[in-house]
Structure 1
Amino acid sequence: MPSNIDRKLVALDIDGTLVTYDEVLSDAARDAVAAVRAAGHHVVLASGRSLIAMTPIAAELKIEESWIVASNGAVTARLDATADTGYTLERVETFDPQPVLRMLKEELPHARYAVEDVGVGFRMTELFPDGELNGEHRVVDFEELWAGHVTRVVVRSPGETSDEFHEIAARLGFDDVTYAVGWSAWMDIAPQGVTKASALEEVRKELGIAAEHTVAVGDGSNDIDMLRWAGRGVAMGHASDTVRSAANEVTGSIDDDGVVEVLRSLL
């Protein structure tokens, strides 16, 4: 077991990093995570997924006590097997979604919109395709999406490309929020300044881990800040050039179980 000075904080994205896009977690990845934890390092799942969509992955990895960063950094929790929910909320960052929702509705009147209710599910203007959002789904009028402050807004518009989403965001000048665009026409919007990196930095301080002893692995645009934050940022081999350029190194793709190579290098 390494001393606290030598212990690392290992931040792992889920989709496209630990788990395939078909929701498969390989035995090799599961074993590598277990070995890294057994060696005394802190494995922290960090995802754009909601908290209730992350806890099943933690359970599959047999992680019962650890920090977890959800909703692209807006929600930080500690896994706790003694809690009724299996976790305790440590930090929840929220914002008023009304201004950005009104602007987006002008640009994308036919898009689907949803806001997250932490630990419950989502309120949405219409149902999303099965499997895209977890928890309870409640269809509401558009104006009900800003009934209170929220951790995240999700915009889904199959008629647009990722590039077009970036162009819309740039044109609207999202000065008061942080946004991330997915592989498809999907956008996550979080409070200003809130990213996986901002949440992980707070976790790092709580754990007393040196900044140079942080490792992060990811594949998406929402991982860019996290890869830059880490002492050792590793991009998956299938990541875009923009994501790869934010990392210190590149590993194999999700099809090659690239994360396993990184995890084994820590042993």
Structure 2
Amino acid sequence: MRLIASDIDGTILGHDGTISPRTVAAFAAAARAGVEIVFVTGRPPRWLEPLRRQMGHTGTVICSNGAVVYDLATDTVVSSHLLPWETVASARKIILSRVPEARFAAESLDGFHLEPGFLEPGTAPALQGIEPAPLEDTVKDGTGMVKFLAVVRAGTADEFLAAVRDDLDGLLSVTHSAPNMALLEMGPRGVNKAVTLAEYAASRGIDAADVVAFGDMPNDIEMLRWAGSGYAMASGHASAISATDLQAPHFDDDGVAQVIETLLAGLNHA
């Protein structure tokens, strides 16, 4: 075990916005043992404060489902994969032809772009200051996006994905990670958490066999399959659990911490 790659939400971070002391201690112990730590998340760089504040992490974070590599120490984008406006516009048209009630938003390196109807009243306080407007009015010419979002108010994310996946295939990458919303997350074609994590590991001279990964949702599937040891959370989405033979205990039982503690104990006795 040379590198631990962990998802954030639902894997180490709870709905209350906290990371348990046991989890913080387990990652700290791994770092002291010489294991490199990288977090791999669907979150954009501007939503990484829990890692800095609670974990004390100032290293690399792979954000936006692999579209952005971010350095927390310097608060800078190291690299990015971008979605051109033409691709976003085509995907939006396809989705509306299948699911007319869908509403949209986009994440760029410059900020968040919000269309009318995307947010329900009273939700996402961090986004309430953004004035909703059509994406074509707020995305600057030449500004690439790192994530395109679509939401509907009825049904599940799995159902929404099934309705549009075939039509979007080959245009961009499509996944989801919100447990209680029919929200789709779309990024550059061929880019996912595993692709960018593999690039990062290779840059550090680390093989997949020496990577331990943790995740809980469909956007973690490729990463869990790529890593030499990919652990799905017992509390996670069924598709993530079925993607790997390894399972971490439930989030409520500090599942990631339990696995790290066991692996470190094995290293100490090797």
Same fold (TM over 0.5): yes
Deviations 1:198-250 (A, max 9, x none): 11011101111122110100000000000001000000001233211212311
SS at match of 1:200: helix
CA distance in 1, matches of 2:128, 2:225: 31
Deviations 1:95-138 (A, max 9, x none): 221110121123333333111122x5311103625338669634
Letter of the structure 1 residue corresponding to residue 60 of structure 2: W
Letter of the structure 2 residue corresponding to residue 36 of structure 1: A
Match of residue 89, structure 1, among 54, 69, 77: 77
SS at match of 2:146: coil
CA distance in 2, matches of 1:231, 1:219: 17
Match of residue 232, structure 2, among 226, 235, 247: 235
CA distance in 2, matches of 1:171, 1:121: 29
Aligned match of 1:162: 157
Deviations 1:134-183 (A, max 9, x none): 69634212433665421110112122322321222234242120010233
Deviates more, 1:128-137 or 1:247-256: 128-137
Aligned match of 1:150: 145
Normalising to structure 2: TM-score of the pair? Answer: 0.87
Aligned match of 2:133: 140
Deviates more, 1:230-239 or 1:166-175: 166-175
**Across the two proteins, how many residue pairs are aligned to each other?**
254
Letter of the structure 1 residue corresponding to residue 262 of structure 2: S
Contact 2:211 2:227 survives alignment (8 Å): yes
Q: Answer yes or no: is 1:53 the counterpart of 2:47.
A: yes
CA distance in 2, matches of 1:13, 1:200: 12
SS at match of 1:95: coil
Q: Answer yes or no: is 1:123 the counterpart of 2:113.
A: yes
CA distance in 2, matches of 1:236, 1:258: 7
Deviates more, 1:210-219 or 1:142-151: 142-151
Per the TM alignment, residue 18 of structure 1 is displaced from its structure 2 partner at its CA by 0.4
Q: 1:18 to 1:210 in 2, by over 3 A?
A: same
Contact 1:53 1:134 survives alignment (8 Å): no
Q: 1:104 to 1:146 in 2, by over 3 A?
A: farther
CA distance in 1, matches of 2:51, 2:156: 29
Pairing of 1:139-218 with structure 2 (within 5 A):
139-144=132-137, 147=140, 148-182=143-177, 183=179, 184-218=181-215
SS at match of 2:170: coil
Per the TM alignment, residue 23 of structure 1 is displaced from its structure 2 partner at its CA by 1.8
Letter of the structure 2 residue corresponding to residue 76 of structure 1: V
Deviates more, 1:175-184 or 1:135-144: 135-144
Aligned match of 1:257: 254
Contact 1:224 1:243 survives alignment (8 Å): yes
SS at match of 1:160: coil
The unaligned stretches of length 5 or more in structure 1 are 1-6
CA distance in 2, matches of 1:204, 1:111: 37
Deviations 1:67-94 (A, max 9, x none): 11000000012222xx3xxx22111101
Aligned match of 2:101: 110
Q: 1:136 to 1:92 in 2, by over 3 A?
A: farther
Contact 2:108 2:144 survives alignment (8 Å): no
Letter of the structure 2 residue corresponding to residue 247 of structure 1: T
Deviations 1:31-54 (A, max 9, x none): 111111111111111011111112
Contact 2:225 2:243 survives alignment (8 Å): yes
CA distance in 2, matches of 1:134, 1:42: 33
Contact 2:113 2:139 survives alignment (8 Å): no
CA distance in 2, matches of 1:179, 1:73: 12
Query: Taking every aligned residue pair, what percent have the same amino acid on both sides?
Result: 29
Per the TM alignment, residue 193 of structure 1 is displaced from its structure 2 partner at its CA by 0.6
Deviates more, 1:200-209 or 1:237-246: 237-246
Contact 1:181 1:221 survives alignment (8 Å): yes
Aligned match of 1:4: none
